[in-house]
Amino acid sequence: MAASASNTLDGLTLEVAVIGSGVGGLYALQRLRDQLGLQAEAFDDAGGVGGTWYWNRYPGCRVDTDASVYCYSFDEDLFRSWQWSERYPRQPEVLAYLNAVADKHDLKRSIHFNTRILAAHWDETAAVWRLTTARGEAVAARYLVEGVGLLSSANLPVFPGAERFQGQIYHAARWPEAAGDLAGKRIGVIGTGSTGIQLVTALAPTAGHLLVFQRTPQYVVPLGCGPFPAERRAQMTADPAGYVARTLNTAAVFGLEESTTPALSVSAAARQQVYEAAWQKGGGFGFMLETFGDIIISREANDTATDFIRAKIRQIVQDPALAEKLCPRDLYAKRPLAVDGYYDCFNRDNVTLVDLQAAPIVEIDESGIRTSHEHMPLDVIIFATGFDAVTGNYLKIDTVGRHGRRLQQQWAKGPDAFMGMTIADFPNLFMIFGPFGPFTSQPLVHEYQINWMTNLMRHARAGGYRTIDTDPHAQENWVARCCRGAELTLFPQVDSWINGGNVPGKPRASMFFMEGMAAYMQQLDEIVREDYAPFVLGR
């Protein structure tokens, strides 16, 4: 660890400060320190590397993206040689991988753990960011790179009386080691998104009784867990650069054969076959992306997918009334969910669905949860209630740019940003996977963004420029393009973290570039060809 004693950081002056040591922050640090030779150090309020994989240690946690694209490519030897045990590795394996990367590149010596950055204020005269840690230390840096996490700021709904509960109570994204083995206990899981469904399938076999508190039913398809496929490893090792380039040159960067066939261009019987094959194969995101090309843009196409999944739910769940409660009625237009055996859990005697649409939670008391219908005694309550996504962690840092502009005010009605990486009037500040970046899987796209933003820094430094700011008109046009693109999809029509609709009081806004990674990279190439015209460089 770079520093742990109090006040050792006070007065530290860096060329680059990186916030976060998750997937994005670790590579940013390696790139800036080792490839660009800058004096770069990172700060993380966690006690170790890993970001989301450090904090999310709940039972059943695993990555539901193919491991071949959920990894780094910058270290080709590691890309070739890392032996993933499973196609969708569990959290301990992902965390072990990130630690191995950090150790191999000796990154931990440049990371200040247990160090939260509370404020970042731009000093126009000195052209540096002035950071304040939670211990009150002052750090200065010419550039600020924020890898604070897209899905990292926990959403913790307030239920009256929660502080009185005498049992164990956790948010899945802050899972403590002390939680211990929950076998035999009466457990309540609130929330049925990606996290909730992983918890349910992991806990159902051993729980004394598992109560699943469901507010909105969602479409869950099989993931198809199993050993890491040998043919996939062969593709990765034969031509790593080609594999990564092909993966990046898709819309969503999941390592899938994305379909371009419209759902209604084939007969009903052929469609059924395609969906059935995808269901049998598992593969999660593939059900949305590999079956037909218009599921997320055409309501009619979407209906064909949702009819199929509802039929599966009715087939699997033996109690017809329960099956109806588990059947979603809205569009299949949230982040797709995938886990093996979810609906089978509801055939177990020790699993009960609590339908919060019929009877909402009224309070938590000393011994359990009370809905408007009944009181349910519990030993453990788990919040799987999601995140203040995309903007949440940026807004936790008191960030003040040029002309005294405060990010919290600037984003009060929804974010604005350029290419998911910069914000006008916040010079020399770079976000990894910030608002209005591509709607894709993350690690390879992190690398791509980090390479691009650091090339821009190198370009500015080579020209003797101290500051890089974003042209507000370029930003406005980009945000408008992203909003137009989002409106062509079905995502804005359903409340979810994709549009801020999951957190009460959060402005509902488009926050992604939905035209795909290939189009995003073309746009970034165009900016380089224009000699970085959308940026204002200053001496």
Asked if residues 361 and 169 have their Cβ atoms less than 8 Å apart, the reply is no
Q: How far is the CB of 418 from ligand NA7 (least distance, A)?
A: 24
Nearer Cβ to ligand NA7 (386/516): 386
Q: How far is the CB of 221 from ligand NA7 (least distance, A)?
A: 14
Nearer Cβ to ligand NA7 (196/283): 196
Q: How far is the CB of 67 from ligand NA7 (least distance, A)?
A: 15
Q: How far is the CB of 60 from ligand NA7 (least distance, A)?
A: 11
Return d(Cα 70, Cα 284) in angstroms, integer: 14
- Bridge partners, 512 (sequence order): 437
Nearer Cβ to ligand NA7 (261/352): 352
Q: How far is the CB of 334 from ligand NA7 (least distance, A)?
A: 7
In this structure, which amino acid lies at residue 74? F
Nearer Cβ to ligand NA7 (154/264): 154
Asked if residues 110 and 141 have their Cβ atoms less than 8 Å apart, the reply is no
Nearer Cβ to ligand NA7 (157/262): 157
Taking each continuous run of H as one helix and of E as one strand, the counts in the chain are 16, 22
Nearer Cβ to ligand NA7 (95/151): 151
The alpha carbon dihedral of 286, 291, 297, 300 has a sign of negative
For residue 187, give Cα distances in angstroms to 169, 191, 220, 372: 10, 13, 21, 19
Q: How far is the CB of 474 from ligand NA7 (least distance, A)?
A: 29
Nearer Cβ to ligand NA7 (191/434): 191
Return d(Cα 265, Cα 268) in angstroms, integer: 9
Q: How far is the CB of 136 from ligand NA7 (least distance, A)?
A: 32
- What's the DSSP call for residue 151? S
Q: How far is the CB of 115 from ligand NA7 (least distance, A)?
A: 24
Asked if residues 491 and 296 have their Cβ atoms less than 8 Å apart, the reply is yes
Q: How far is the CB of 497 from ligand NA7 (least distance, A)?
A: 5
Nearer Cβ to ligand NA7 (194/304): 194
Q: How far is the CB of 34 from ligand NA7 (least distance, A)?
A: 29
User: What are all long-range contacts of 374-380, with beta carbons under 8 Å and residues at least 24 apart?
Assistant: 376/188, 376/211, 377/186, 378/167, 378/186, 378/187, 378/188, 378/211, 379/167, 379/168, 379/185, 379/186, 379/187, 379/208, 380/167, 380/168, 380/169, 380/170, 380/182, 380/185, 380/186, 380/187, 380/188
Q: How far is the CB of 528 from ligand NA7 (least distance, A)?
A: 30
Sheet holding 380-383, edge to edge: 168-171, 380-383, 186-190, 209-214, 351-355
Q: What is the DSSP string of 494-525?
A: S-STTTTTTSTTPPP---EE-S-HHHHHHHHH
- If you search the block for the tokens 């409106």, which residue do you land on? 487
Return d(Cα 263, Cα 308) in angstroms, integer: 12
Residues binding ligand NA7 (CB under 6 A): 151, 157, 190-196, 215-216, 335, 356, 384-387, 497, 502
Asked if residues 504 and 386 have their Cβ atoms less than 8 Å apart, the reply is no
Q: Please give the residue whose beta carbon sits closest to ligand NA7 in the complex.
A: 193
Asked if residues 51 and 63 have their Cβ atoms less than 8 Å apart, the reply is no
Nearest-10 crossing angle of helices 240-248, 517-529: 100
Nearer Cβ to ligand NA7 (16/225): 225
Nearer Cβ to ligand NA7 (115/195): 195
- Bridge partners, 145 (sequence order): 18, 430
For residue 158, give Cα distances in angstroms to 135, 379, 538: 28, 19, 46
Q: How far is the CB of 311 from ligand NA7 (least distance, A)?
A: 22
Nearer Cβ to ligand NA7 (151/378): 151
Nearest 5°: the CA angle 451, 125, 472 is 55
Nearer Cβ to ligand NA7 (340/398): 340
Taking phi over 0 as left and psi of -120 to 50 as alpha, with beta for the rest, 469 belongs to beta
